[in-house]
Amino acid sequence: MAASSKCLLLFISLLLGHGVLQPEAAADNQPYRTSYHFQPPKNWMNDPNGPMLYKGIYHLFFQYNPKGAVWGNIVWGHSTSTDLVNWTPHEAAIYPSQPSDINGCWSGSSTILPEGRPVILYTGIDPNNHQVQNLAMPKNLSDPFLREWVKSQDNPLMAPNSHNKINSSSFRDPTTGWLGRDGYWRVIIGSKINQKGLAILYKSKNFVHWEEAKKPLYSSKKSGMWECPDFYPVLIKSPLGIDTSIDGPNTKHVLKVSLDDTKHDYYKIGSYNQNKDIFIPDNGPFHKNSGLRYDYGKFYASKTFFEGNSKHRRILWGWVNESSSVEDDIKKGWSGVQAIPRSIWLDNSGKQLVQWPIKEIETLRLKEVNLPKQELKGGSVLEVSGVTAAQADVIITFEITELSKAEVLDPSWTDPQLLCSRKGASVKGGIGPFGLLVLASKGLQEYTAVFYRIFKSHNKYVVLMCSDQSRSSLNHENDETTYGAFVDVDPVHEKLSLRSLIDHSIVESFGGEGKACITARVYPTLATDAEAHLYAFNNGTGNVGITTLSGWSMKKAQIN
């Protein structure tokens, strides 16, 4: 055998022997598998867990069922990357092996301790099906891929008991720890008492012995169970991220909770009183159906991390579930994708967060296609050709000149999702609907419309962004909810832009340069692969101007 072939064989056996998994595909016909959104090779995936950067390697762990395409048998799947775009799969990092996690290894977070030592806190399900919190540490700190994890012999470190009276079926998902000025680490854990959602606070000197604080960090009546809380500082008037332990004069704090009852991620901006160890939101408690959300479509159990390198970003991961039936998920052999990681920061207004896909995703862009500046007349549809429309990145910017034609906003129209579902893409308005038809079939039997409508209200204009799934597929077994969000953009003085990341069965849209995000899952039957088309459209009576349109076909990333 030639020396080069021997080297190749040795390399392959080394890869296999060191926890790099052989990619293994699911069923053969796979029009809905994504090309640049993270997925394991097959089976069920839900929450992103413990994302971090360690020795130049990005780590993503995730809730994973190694045995099938539905939730169950939960372990921590693990993949690594050098660029957050291309990913290598590893063996499961954390799996049931102790009494304290024998019935499942549920969500949790990583924390980088002093001297750069990463640790993971996660929820274990014990033999009584009680939720408890466990610690795991890397076996070998010199392995940048952190392939093996050992669990603390002291597990569980936090558990419900007759003294603390914590509800043992509602005690899960520890956050990344933050270090207070008093030298104590803190974490919060999602919980509820009756219908009051709460973030139970624990403190520790050494990350092993934890004591419950007298009061939760924060709670809100009638909000139900809080899953996967996240608590971190953001800088005022800067897009840079900061370490989770930083607490200074130029910072605000964000508390995000994943509401189990509605399956949406809501957040509050506010201040953290470190002496009292409480969070004070700027504008009141969490509600089940209103308030600021990371994403007004499908996006849940998200988690941020601070990457701590020269890029200084806080990066957000979020799970995007299927909209198809369980039977279809089983048939295709997988379920769940992760949204493209997003940089996240505080808007200059201080009133909301802004998100934008990480810059690295642009390395997948192929030749750029542009449309010249032009007027998009009411009732017109314009094809954007030259991009592989099933796998694309597109940004369109509009100029609204005929604002006088905007419809008057009825004061009772306060729910953007309801408004979008009443006024879908086929309902003609004054200014709008205008935007993009993505994953569209040639004869427009199928399309997903992502669009704006502009309303007049007192002395200002209100911008509504919608993602309408009602015509996405001829297969009506899928969830066809139309999602909506109000976007804080003033169309008189600001440009109105829309970016969509289209990837076979996911459409991730960013309105107003990241002020409102809507993610949808769709399963066209005609508009797949080369049969998918992309259009700009205006179904209003007023004309709108397209100032710029850039579209790119996207290369396939190396994912698992």
- Omega prior to 156 cis, within 30 of 0: yes
Answer for the pair 78, 60: CB distance below 8 angstroms, yes or no: yes
Backbone angles phi, psi at 326, to 5 degrees: -60, -40
Residues that bind ligand DQQ in the complex, under the rule CB under 6 A: 46-47, 63, 74, 106-107, 123, 172-173, 227-228, 301
Q: Which residue is nearest to ligand DQQ (CB)?
A: 106
Output the CA–CA distances (angstroms, integers) from residue 259 to 279, 300, 483, in the order listed.
18, 9, 17
The tokens describing 491, both together, are: 């169309």
Considering 28, 47, 101, 393, which one is annotated as catalytic? Answer: 47
Rounded to the nearest whole angstrom, what is the least distance from the CB of residue 107 to ligand DQQ in the complex? 4
Round to whole Å and give the CA distance between 25 and 29: 10
| Euclidean distance between CA atoms 460 and 342, whole angstroms | 30
Indicate the residue among 123 and 509 with the shorter CB distance to ligand DQQ: 123
User: What letter represents residue 476's amino acid?
Assistant: H
Q: Are the CB atoms for 185 and 274 separated by under 8 Å?
A: no
Q: Which is nearer to ligand DQQ, 169 or 348 (CB)?
A: 169
Amino acid in the structure at residue 409: L
- Shortest Cβ distance from residue 226 to ligand DQQ (Å)? 9
Residue with smaller CB distance to ligand DQQ, 295 or 513: 295
Nearer to ligand DQQ, 189 or 438 (CB): 189
The set of long-range contacts for 72-81, using a CB threshold of 8 Å and a minimum separation of 24, is 72/44, 73/104, 74/104, 74/105, 74/106, 75/105, 76/49, 76/50, 76/105, 76/122, 77/40, 77/45, 78/147, 79/38, 79/40, 79/560, 80/145, 80/146, 81/57
The label of the residue with tokens 């403190």 reads: 203
**CA proximity to 395, closest of 270, 502, 544:** 502
Count of CB atoms within 10 A of residue 476's CB? 8
Is the torsion defined by CA of 121, 125, 126, 132 positive or negative? positive
Q: Is 405 helix (H, G, I), strand (E, B) or coil?
A: helix
Map residue 86 onto helix, strand or coil: coil
- What is the per-residue DSSP string for 282-304? TT----SS-S-BS-SSS-EEEEE
Instruction: State how far the Cα of 174 lies from the Cα of 214, in Å rounded to an integer.
Output: 17
Two structure tokens written together for 181: 């000025």
In terms of CB distance, is 191 or 472 closer to ligand DQQ? 191
Q: Tell me how far, at minimum, the Cβ of 443 lies from ligand DQQ, in Å.
A: 39
The verdict on whether 265 is a catalytic residue reads no
Distance, in Å, from the CA atom of 266 to the CA atom of 42, rounded to the nearest integer, reads 30
* 3 state DSSP class of 200: strand
**CB-nearer residue toward ligand DQQ: 317 or 451:** 317
Task: Give least dist CB 300 to ligand DQQ, A.
Answer: 6
Nearest distance in Å: CB 225, ligand DQQ: 8
Cβ closer to ligand DQQ: 173 or 295?
173
In this structure, the strands spanning 334-335 and 43-54 are: parallel
Separation of alpha carbons 93 and 237, rounded Å: 38
Closer by beta carbon to ligand DQQ, 47 or else 329: 47
Strand partners, 389: none
Instruction: Report the 10 Å Cβ neighbour count for 6.
Output: 10
Instruction: Report the residue number, 172 or 504, with the smaller CB distance to ligand DQQ.
Output: 172
Report the residue number, 192 or 405, with the smaller CB distance to ligand DQQ: 192
Least gap, CB of 65 to ligand DQQ (angstroms): 9
Active site residues: 47
